[in-house]
Amino acid sequence: MKPVIRLNDVSLGWRDKPVLQHISGQFNQGTLTAILGANGAGKSTLVKGIINFIKPAAGSIDIAGPFRKELTLLPQLSDLDRSFPITTYELVAMGAWRRIGAWRQYGKVERERIDHALEKVGLLSAATRLIGELSGGQLQRALFARMMVRDAQVLLLDEPFAAVDEQTCEDLMHIIQGWHKEGRTIIAVLHDVQRVRASFPETLLLARQLVAWGKTSEVLTEENLQRARRLSLGGF
């Protein structure tokens, strides 16, 4: 498999405060990988480094040429300003901006794409509602619909199952599995060990440093989990 993202002895932090140190490895094309670790383990920091929101303090993050414009991020719900006065439809339609620009009108093809995404996540009837009126689960579904419209090949999901009910988790996991079958490269930040074991073939286990990276069955051994707990600020 071809590497899409390569981490070369990467260290990342915020305002000169180190968070992750000396991470090396690669995400290959078409893989479905969980980034797992306790709170404070550096999971979201690594995703922000990959998406170029923060620069490495040391080392480098290399994105293969064909994929440099193919990365898209599903942010944490807590990172969003839900008071911003846009509708569900407008939020989902933002996924088309890279193709048509922020201010051009949506043509028939794009409108059909947006409607299809809203229908697939069960929000077509909520298209005219302001995002501040949506539940946490509905807003997460809307963000997944925006990613469908974006139609990127490399998807980074930061805590996609946080603050949503179990049925929504199952529905969103079904969407993720569909993307995987299409050959997209998917990286998801998670903290639920059992969900990772059940649904993610590859795992990157972090505890402010690399604990293990590879096949989930080989990474999530009791020995590795205990080491991650010892190294992390908190537990799973």
Tokens of 190: 């998670």
| CA gap 170, 167 in Å, rounded | 5
DSSP notation for 34-72 = EEE--TTSSHHHHHHHHTTSS--SEEEEEE-GGGTT-EE
Q: Give the model's pLDDT for residue 106.
A: 83
Say what the alpha-carbon torsion angle 88, 75, 170, 115 is, to the nearest 10 degrees. Answer: 30
Q: Give the model's pLDDT for residue 56.
A: 96
What residues contact 162, with CB distance under 8 A and at least 6 apart? 76, 77, 78
Q: Give the model's pLDDT for residue 234.
A: 56
Q: Give the model's pLDDT for residue 79.
A: 86
Tokens of 179: 């993307």
Query: 41, 48 in Cβ contact below 8 A?
Result: no
Q: Give the model's pLDDT for residue 99.
A: 83
Question: Which CA distances in Å does 205 have to 42, 182, 221?
Answer: 10, 25, 11
Q: For the chain, how far is it from start to end, CA to CA, in angstroms?
A: 31
Torsion angles phi and psi, residue 173, rounded to 5: -65, -35
What residues contact 58, with CB distance under 8 A and at least 6 apart? 9, 10, 11
Q: Give the model's pLDDT for residue 96.
A: 94
- The list of the chain residues with pLDDT below 50 reads none
Q: Give the model's pLDDT for residue 235.
A: 60
The class level of CATH for 1-70+154-236 reads alpha beta
Q: Where are the domains of the chain?
A: 1-70+154-236, 81-151
Helix or strand holding residue 13 (H, E) = strand 3-14
Q: Give the model's pLDDT for residue 98.
A: 85
Q: Give the model's pLDDT for residue 100.
A: 83
Q: Using the 8-state DSSP alphabet, how is residue 192 labeled?
A: -
Query: 179, 155 in Cβ contact below 8 A?
Result: yes
Burial class (CB in 10 A: 0-12, 13-18, 19+), 104: exposed
Question: Which CA distances in Å does 129 have to 20, 25, 116, 125, 186?
Answer: 40, 43, 17, 9, 29
Q: Give the model's pLDDT for residue 236.
A: 63
